[in-house]
Copies of this chain bind each other. A is one copy, B any other.
Amino acid sequence: MDQLHLRMDSLSPHQHFYAGEFRHSIDEKNRITVPSRWRRDEAEEFILLPEANHLFLLVMSPEEFGGMSSAVESNQAVSAHDRRIFLRHLHSRAQHGIADRQGRLVLPEELCRKIGLKDEVALVGGRGRFEIWNLHRWKRAHEEETPTYQHVANVIGL
């Protein structure tokens, strides 16, 4: 199983970097502006992937997602059965998202409800992907619960 971890970490060497943390508001139509520094071209396309227990929303490029998918698919450390199940979950949880010309991403209603994205949210940079958190939850995880965050971070490999 450790090989899987290694594989995911090393998959896209050319990966785009999203640096920093932004606090934006999400409007009544569940739109959120992607920070201008994180945009690459107009009419940008993203894949939205809620974290397993709806702690935050992962946002990445389709290429990144494709790489993730094929990394799982070709990983021989896990049984074929488990890979099938996992791939099904991965793809079924993922959603398409397209930014408008103002650089805003429209998030599905259901996703926002489950993750608790309303009013103020935090956009947290990462490698190849960034995360959208409920602001209060982010503050808690980041500032107050640093050890727990550290632990999660280690698992995630940030």
Residues of A within 8 A of B (CB): 1-2, 4-6, 8-10, 12, 15, 17-21, 37, 47, 49, 51-53, 58, 65-66, 69-70, 72-74, 78, 80, 82-89, 91-96, 124-127, 131, 142, 145-146, 148-150, 152-158
Contact = CB atoms under 8 A, between A and B. Distances in A.
A149 B5 contact: no
A148 B91 contact: no
B156 A21 contact: no
Contact of A148 (B1, B12, B70, B85): B85
A156 B72 contact: yes
A13 to B, nearest CB: 10
Contacts of A70: 15, 127
A74 B127 CA distance: 13
Contacts of A87: 9, 126-127
A157 B9 CA distance: 9
Given A153-B52, A155-B157, A157-B157, A80 B2 contact: yes
7 contacts: A4-B156, A5-B156, A10-B73, A15-B70, A37-B96, A52-B150, A82-B148
A72 to B, nearest CB: 7
B124 A9 contact: no
Given A20-B95, A89-B142, 12 more contacts: A2-B80, A5-B80, A15-B66, A18-B91, A20-B94, A52-B158, A72-B156, A85-B148, A86-B149, A92-B124, A156-B157, A156-B158
